[in-house]
Structure 1
Amino acid sequence: MARKPHQDSVRRVVIAGGGFAGHRAARTLSRMLARERVERVEIVLLNPTDYFLYLPLLPQVSAGILEPRRVTVSLVHTLPRVRLVLGEATHVDLPGRRVHYTDAEGRREELTYDRLVLAVGSVNKLLPVPGVSEYAHGFRGLPEALYLRDHIIRQTELAASAGDPGECAAQCTFVVVGAGYTGTEVAAQGKLFTDALHAQMARPAASHGTVWRSPATRPRWLLLDVAPRVLPGLDRRLSETADRVLRSRGVEVRTGTSVKEATPDGVLLDDGEFVATRTLVWCVGVRPDPLVAELGLPVERGRLRVTPRLDVPGHPEVFACGDAAAVPDLTRPLAANGDHGDQGHDGGDGFELTPMTAQHATRQGDVAARNVAASLGHGEARPYRHHDLGFAVDLGGVQAAANPLGVPLSGPLAGAVTRGYHLAAMPGNRVRVAADWLLDAALPRQAVQLGLVRSWSVPLDTASPELARTPGPAPKE
């Protein structure tokens, strides 16, 4: 039996998730309704935090370039006509049109809706590799970035006082698994960061001319991926540029290689080599939030099936966008031989699926908002049709790999384009981010541990709220 409206005169739109798709959907819908002076629609954004996280700049937080607050944009300030509810969606009652959620204090609550936009995003992709969940560090949120920054500094400082050469080498070795966007940028930024730390520790003190002790072993970074090249989902020229920059810095890029087992003392690679390390960063990719599978609706590779207009078949009041949605890419029909390309998969309508990227999520959020407004009688619905503007990968310093509008760039020009793109894409904090970049270019980074996050509070299995609240074994420091 269908529920009664929460108010007779006001219709409620609930947007679950405040990431790229959810934030854009809330902003676009609120602006549309304000422009048309619609007063009988309430927009509610359900999100675990009070900020939008600009994920592409997270590696710069872990490398000490940007302060944490620079990549967090206030939802309240950027969405003034949207009611923010702090909580995480746990269940959707489709017949009753209710979203059940756990609030910030752990209480179970619910929201009724007339329209629902599912933009719950994604979580870490876990593989059945022994030891990974216990000893690897994920990289999906601000706590993980802050913890990794502290961890890198701590390992470097411990290595400086290590009496055993083997222990020193293990503490100076950093292994990143996954050479996609995140893994490539983490390795690129991390190598520059640890090299800077090593150099700072060996610099003579100005006051009395003594030399601070630095680790006997120089920092070593390994980037592993089972794919035949780094950035396997992007244009080969971007991949070659990134590979060249990484190798020139001394990063050991090992394609066709992955981790067979993780232990407290290091990682065993699938080629039989054991690498002694205290740092394993897991960046193998993402999977849709488990809430999608719980809905009981048709999915494609774990993502909720939607029409080109982003509504859910059989439930015209429900829309989905971003990483949680299997959106057909109308610009990429399937090849006759069934070849789906590097990223696309059969969406069931003769088209590949859009990849799980921030660029797609942002634009899908915009289209979802317009189609929600159309379903409420304001404007016309339209299908999602995307044309890539290009991709950009920040490799640290002045280096980057980019192809704006299909034009391949590298070096300082690509670096300028990449940073310009990020400033344009961020919904706030642009001046503060630019200021941090200028300060980083002029001053040495502050290599101090903040001690804000402990290892057990940032579990790799981000899909398990129970695990996130229960302290587990900390990785060996």
Structure 2
Amino acid sequence: MNRESKHILIVGGGYVGLYTGLRLQRRLRRELRDGSVRITLIDPQSYMTYQPFLPEAAAGNLSPRHVVVPLRRVLPKVRILNGRVTKVHHAARTVTFQPNAGPVQEIGYDILVMAAGSISRTLPIPGLAEVGIGFKTIGEAIQLRNHVLAQLDIAESTDDPEVRRRALTFVFVGGGFAGVEALAEVEDMARDAIRYYPRVSPEDLRFVLVEAADRILPEVGPEMGRWTANELRSRGIEIKMNTRLESAEDHVIRTSDGDEFPAGTLVWTAGVKPSPVVNAGDLPLDERGRVKATPELTVDGVPDAFTAGDVAAVPDLTRPGEFCAPNAQHAVRQAKLLGDNIARYLRGQPLVPYRHRYVGSVASLGLHDGVAHVYGIKLRGFPAWFMHRTYHLSRVPTFNRKVRVVADWTLALFFKRETLSLGQLHRPREAFKAAAAAARRR
């Protein structure tokens, strides 16, 4: 290995981490080949999750394996380390790395790419930690699917009206993209599934959306947000705007409008916040805990450090005084420029600022239904749903994944989706542990 090689360390394997790695593999082919540049990526998982497809995975429209992209396969020139960065010592050009197994290590680098992304933004609400389900990872999406179907199993198998009422009540908190799409897809799946539950009727299902603001889907504008709310209400979904979740202890939901009712399912999608790793280091942060960035995607005032995506406060040059929204559209485009700018930086060339006007948003509301506001054009129903699928198919990384996603969608046209709970997947050793414990008692 070349002793003078430059070591690029990417913290995070989400949109920014993956796409930056892909860009660097292309832009630095010669340097990677001769050993003058090395790239390392650190993430707890060995895959990147394409989060816009999580609602479809939860609804059973897509296989979970087709929603994730294996990092080692698509980044063969990058060393992948699975674990967490617990501290950044940029002044010393080192990070503290805790592998998923084994002792802590100190890893040195020459150039840092802070792309740790975001985590769910939660509040100290009684009962939330005990009964809530997040919706940011593929594991959470599949857990939600299995949980909802298990609730239908409970309702079908009991005569107790209170147990049935709780099992068939599903509450989603957060009226942004994640909350509305997850709610719409899961409700669509549940209504499809109850055809196989003779004792459960559509009127028995209760879906509730709780949103603290005065509208939902602010990304698509007020008019389309109102249409979405009316569309969901026409499907029997309750929407509580200007309402906060106050408590969820013992699966009893209490909201700020005075309502109180039992619910077997509580899904939390009320926003995100930067990964906590940024608080354990010496990079400059803004008042919202994001890494301060320049338009060129460098860390403001810090040499040899770059950042982008949800973790970064990137100035929006198309709207002076504001910052880029934490969404996939900006993250993917920033990552491509970030890779280019790192290559320019290594070669002593001037960096290029990030400038991208937000083109709009698309959201799925279940099978064959959606809403979109793109380039000033407003669509709803089937055209918006088709645009949603087309757009995200074009954005999911690798040709391999695109083909697999299309195959899933094509099969869904001819075959009914599976509606069974595999909840044991989340606790696979329980039966064996019980058998082993029984054997010890003999």
Q: TM-score scaled by structure 2? A: 0.92
Query: Alignment partner of 1:73: what SS?
Result: strand
**Structure 2 counterpart of 1:314, one-letter code:** G
User: How far off is 1:216 after superposition?
Assistant: 8.9
Question: Which region of structure 1 is more displaced relative to structure 2, 16-25 or 292-301?
Answer: 292-301
Corresponding residue for residue 397 of structure 1? 367
Corresponding residue for residue 440 of structure 2? none
Query: Alignment partner of 2:163: what SS?
Result: helix
User: How far off is 1:265 after superposition?
Assistant: 3.1
Paired with 2:102 and 2:139, the residues of 1 have a C-alpha distance of 19
Q: Does 1:239 align with 2:196?
A: no
Corresponding residue for residue 303 of structure 1? 290
Q: Does 1:86 align with 2:67?
A: no
Q: Does 1:223 align with 2:209?
A: yes
Q: Does 1:101 align with 2:97?
A: yes
Paired with 1:171 and 1:218, the residues of 2 have a C-alpha distance of 10
**Structure 2 counterpart of 1:413, one-letter code:** P
Paired with 1:81 and 1:431, the residues of 2 have a C-alpha distance of 24
**Structure 2 counterpart of 1:27, one-letter code:** L
User: How far off is 1:237 after superposition?
Assistant: 3.0
Corresponding residue for residue 33 of structure 1? 28
Which of 302, 323, 340 pairs up with 2:310?
A: 323
User: How far off is 1:62 after superposition?
Assistant: 1.2
Query: Alignment partner of 1:31: what SS?
Result: helix
User: How far off is 1:434 after superposition?
Assistant: 1.3
Q: CA contact under 8 A between 2:147 and 2:423: conserved in structure 1? A: no
Paired with 2:283 and 2:98, the residues of 1 have a C-alpha distance of 22
Cα 1:216–1:168 shift into 2, 3 Å: farther
Query: Alignment partner of 1:312: what SS?
Result: coil
Q: CA contact under 8 A between 1:267 and 1:274: conserved in structure 2? A: yes
Q: Does 1:446 align with 2:418?
A: yes
Cα 1:272–1:397 shift into 2, 3 Å: same
Cα 1:288–1:216 shift into 2, 3 Å: closer
Which of 217, 237, 240 pairs up with 1:251?
A: 237
> Structure 1 residue runs of 4+, over 4 Å off?
35-38
Corresponding residue for residue 141 of structure 2? 145
User: How far off is 1:451 after superposition?
Assistant: 3.0
Q: CA contact under 8 A between 2:218 and 2:225: conserved in structure 1? A: yes
**Structure 1 counterpart of 2:156, one-letter code:** A
Which of 334, 357, 371 pairs up with 1:387?
A: 357
Alignment of 1:369-448 (within 5 A): 369-377=339-347, 379-428=349-398, 429-448=401-420
Query: Alignment partner of 1:418: what SS?
Result: helix
Cα 1:427–1:118 shift into 2, 3 Å: same
Corresponding residue for residue 280 of structure 2? 294
Corresponding residue for residue 13 of structure 1? 8
Deviations 1:163-210 (A, max 9, x none): 1112211100100000001000011001111111112223xxxxxxxx
**Structure 1 counterpart of 2:412, one-letter code:** D
Deviations 1:406-463 (A, max 9, x none): 21111111111110001100003111111111222322221222235548xxxxxxxx
Q: CA contact under 8 A between 2:90 and 2:283: conserved in structure 1? A: no
Q: Does 1:75 align with 2:65?
A: no
Query: Alignment partner of 1:434: what SS?
Result: helix
Corresponding residue for residue 352 of structure 1? 322
Q: CA contact under 8 A between 1:143 and 1:453: conserved in structure 2? A: no
Paired with 2:266 and 2:189, the residues of 1 have a C-alpha distance of 16
Q: CA contact under 8 A between 1:132 and 1:261: conserved in structure 2? A: yes
Corresponding residue for residue 57 of structure 1? 53
Q: CA contact under 8 A between 2:145 and 2:186: conserved in structure 1? A: no
Question: Which region of structure 1 is more displaced relative to structure 2, 274-283 or 77-86?
Answer: 77-86
How many residues are treated as equivalent by the alignment?
425
Corresponding residue for residue 345 of structure 1? none
Structure 2 unmatched ranges of 5 or more: 428-442
**Structure 1 counterpart of 2:113, one-letter code:** V
Q: CA contact under 8 A between 2:90 and 2:282: conserved in structure 1? A: no
**Structure 2 counterpart of 1:373, one-letter code:** A
Deviations 1:378-424 (A, max 9, x none): 65311111112221111111111112322111111111111000110
User: How far off is 1:372 after superposition?
Assistant: 1.3
User: How far off is 1:152 after superposition?
Assistant: 0.4
Paired with 2:283 and 2:72, the residues of 1 have a C-alpha distance of 32
User: How far off is 1:245 after superposition?
Assistant: 2.3
Percentage of pairs with the same residue: 37
Paired with 2:83 and 2:295, the residues of 1 have a C-alpha distance of 29
Corresponding residue for residue 19 of structure 2? 24
Q: CA contact under 8 A between 1:24 and 1:362: conserved in structure 2? A: yes
Question: Which region of structure 1 is more displaced relative to structure 2, 14-23 or 440-449?
Answer: 440-449
Query: Alignment partner of 1:42: what SS?
Result: strand
Corresponding residue for residue 45 of structure 1? 41
Q: CA contact under 8 A between 1:136 and 1:280: conserved in structure 2? A: yes
Query: Alignment partner of 1:21: what SS?
Result: helix
User: How far off is 1:37 after superposition?
Assistant: 7.5
Question: Which region of structure 1 is more displaced relative to structure 2, 28-37 or 280-289?
Answer: 28-37
User: How far off is 1:222 after superposition?
Assistant: 0.4
**Structure 1 counterpart of 2:147, one-letter code:** H
Query: Alignment partner of 1:174: what SS?
Result: strand
Paired with 1:106 and 1:35, the residues of 2 have a C-alpha distance of 34
Corresponding residue for residue 163 of structure 2? 167
Q: Does 1:275 align with 2:261?
A: yes
Q: TM-score scaled by structure 1? A: 0.85
**Structure 2 counterpart of 1:408, one-letter code:** K
Cα 1:48–1:236 shift into 2, 3 Å: same
Cα 1:284–1:37 shift into 2, 3 Å: closer
